[in-house]
Amino acid sequence: MILAARKVRDLGNVDTRRQESAEVPDIFDRCRHFLEEQRSASKDDLEVAQRVIFGVSPIENAGPWIEHEGRRMLQFSTNDYLGMSVHPEVRAAAAEWAAKHGISAPMGARPLTGTVELHLEFERRIADFKRTEAAQSFTMGAGAMLGSIACLARPHDLLIMDQLAHASLVCGARIAGASIKYFKHNDPANLERVLQRSDPTRPKMIVVDGVYSMNGDIAPLREICDLKDRYGARLFVDDAHGNGVCGEGGRGAAEMLGVEDRIDLHAGTFSKAFGTYGGFVAGPKEVIFYIRCLAPTILFTKSAPACVVAATMKSLELVRKAGDRRKKVWDNARYLQSQLRARGFDVGDTQTPITPIRLGDSAAIHCADILRRTHGIWVSAVVYPAVRRGNGIIRVIPTALHTHADVDYLVSSLQAAKAEFEARSAASTTSAAQPTAAEAAAK
């Protein structure tokens, strides 16, 4: 009897726990909701989005011309501004080190067995390029931003971030547990109001991009430097898209605006103008030493393979001397943007080769698909969550290896693709408005 009673009681407890469990939201619920949200889009939009955004890219997807599924296609999608990813000297450097040491060496994280003399020489050259006391390299660009912010800030610190700051910077701030305040994009007056309202005794750092990857605009670094000096803040600039491209020497937006020596920490990636892989942060020696010792993206990940470091060192050497290529990038960018504006396309307030063609989500996806399938042009549609809902763009990046003839073909093809999409949309709307045969008979 006692055993039977215990069994009944235990079964009752199990049922109660199940009921309680059923009332607790499942952490995977948001995944299901996201999927349902995607399905709520039109079937046509969803199919095209899957093809354009998650379709298979050709492995050799850099350079102005690429091969895909047996077709030769004009490519305007990558961030390979100077064509370094296909530079024979960069490829040869990687191949030479890979042939000697394999693709993984050295094995291990940097604090253990992952640091070799090549890493240290590479970091000395980065510091020389950025005109700072020291530099630290990272296995990936996002890791440089996330890891540096995560170890520099603490819960009692204040990070003041541009509202369009790169996601890796925001992730680093959240990991640090610091207080975060956002200011309106590229708005020094709003930044000053945030600074005025902050506790003057609280450690604070302003965090911005040098060049914003979706809009192509440049941070007002002169004004931001004035404010950080006035209010006793530090300044961290992620210039992933400016390094190699902006400034006569390719040292980025800070060089272009004449404020290199006023930036506290310069950061960037090698996956854009340098055409390789990895990232860095450069600044005062004691700060870089601190980051080297404490950044989670250094401590808890394998060091960069020597073959990648060797390729990036060669690319850095070439980028410093690539004045002609930089001029060509800017010439192509000005020509492209003037041609697009002349034909009524909205490219916003871009100040760099990044060219966002603002079409809206559905138009961006469908036009990118038409360009690929009909015109043999590979471009990328960028939609939510990379940009706000409804603000979809086709982001075009002209490089030093493109010609004006390439640009002309892109612009004329884009006009044709937009006209085709609009005609389809109009036909679809008209068709939807027509009653079916059954509806007509019922009337």
List, in order, residues 6 or more apart from 223 with CB less than 8 Å away: 188
Residue 256 CB-density burial (10 A; 0-12 exposed, 13-18 middle, 19+ buried): buried
Confidence (pLDDT) at 164: 96
Confidence (pLDDT) at 432: 55
Confidence (pLDDT) at 10: 53
Second CATH level (architecture) for the domain 44-82+323-429 = Alpha-Beta Complex (3.90)
Q: Which of 87, 130, 228, 241 is catalytic?
A: 241
Query: Under a CB-based contact definition with an 8 Å cutoff, are residues 331 and 407 in contact?
Result: no
Q: What's the CA gap between 292 and 306, in Å, rounded?
A: 18
213 a catalytic residue? yes
Q: What's the CA gap between 181 and 194, in Å, rounded?
A: 7
Query: Under a CB-based contact definition with an 8 Å cutoff, are residues 266 and 130 in contact?
Result: yes
CATH 3.40.640.10 region(s) of the chain? 87-320
List, in order, residues 6 or more apart from 68 with CB less than 8 Å away: 57, 58, 378
Tokens of residue 200, six digits: 């003057």
Query: Under a CB-based contact definition with an 8 Å cutoff, are residues 280 and 144 in contact?
Result: yes
Confidence (pLDDT) at 389: 83
* Domain 87-320 part of CATH 3.30.565.10: no
Confidence (pLDDT) at 53: 76
What sign results for the dihedral spanned by CA atoms 344, 349, 355, 356?
Answer: negative
CATH 3.90.1150.10 region(s) of the chain? 44-82+323-429
83, amino acid identity: G
Confidence (pLDDT) at 41: 62
Q: Which of 166, 228, 272, 375 is catalytic?
A: 272
Short-list 70, 59, 141, 45, CA closest to 381: 45
Full pLDDT tens readout for the chain, 443 residues: 444 444 445 545 545 554 555 678 899 999 988 888 777 666 667 778 777 777 788 888 888 999 988 899 999 999 999 999 999 999 999 999 999 999 999 999 999 999 999 999 999 999 999 999 999 999 999 999 999 999 999 999 999 999 999 999 999 999 999 999 999 999 999 999 999 999 999 999 999 999 999 999 999 999 999 999 999 999 999 999 999 999 999 999 999 999 999 999 999 999 999 999 999 999 999 999 999 999 999 999 999 999 999 999 999 999 999 999 999 999 999 999 999 999 999 999 999 999 999 999 899 999 999 999 999 999 999 988 888 888 999 999 999 999 999 999 999 999 999 999 999 888 776 655 566 555 555 55
In angstroms, the Cα distances linking 62 to 254, 280, 312, 313, 317 are 27, 23, 16, 19, 20
109, amino acid identity: A
Query: Under a CB-based contact definition with an 8 Å cutoff, are residues 297 and 138 in contact?
Result: yes
Q: Which of 213, 271, 303, 362 is catalytic?
A: 213
Task: Concatenate the DSSP letters of all residues of 362-398 into one string.
Answer: HHHHHHHHHHHHHH-EE-EEE-TTSS-TT--EEEE--
Q: Give pLDDT tens digits for 313-359.
A: 999 999 999 999 999 999 999 999 999 999 999 999 999 999 999 99
Confidence (pLDDT) at 23: 78
Q: What's the CA gap between 43 and 371, in Å, rounded?
A: 20
204 a catalytic residue? no
Tokens of residue 174, six digits: 């959240």
104 a catalytic residue? no
